[in-house]
Amino acid sequence: YRILTDKKLDILTTLSKPNCCISLEELSKTTKMSLPLISYHINGNLKSEGLKEMGLVDTNEIRGRIEIKLSVLGRMLLNGYVS
């Protein structure tokens, strides 16, 4: 939990809601964060791990769009099963 920033935790919480945010674009609109900022939190950079690298979200490209969803580990973390 310590390595998760507030924004990353907000993204995970948003993704946990039913029928929410299949694509990065939808996630950007729902969280009111810019698409580059969403991409940064999902993919990370050299200095900071992204949610994908942490194993908390899964992504899949479908017809040129990136689909995003919580991974099993991400759900467990949000439900308090991982400490």
* Residue range 6-58, pLDDT digits in tens: 899 999 999 998 887 778 888 899 999 999 999 999 998 888 889 999 999 99
What DSSP character marks residue 44? B
pTM of full prediction above 0.75: yes
Closest by CA position to 44, among listed 1, 2, 73, 5: 5
| Integer Cα distance of 42 and 8 in angstroms | 8
Distance between terminal CA atoms of the chain? 7
Closest by CA position to 14, among listed 45, 55, 57: 57
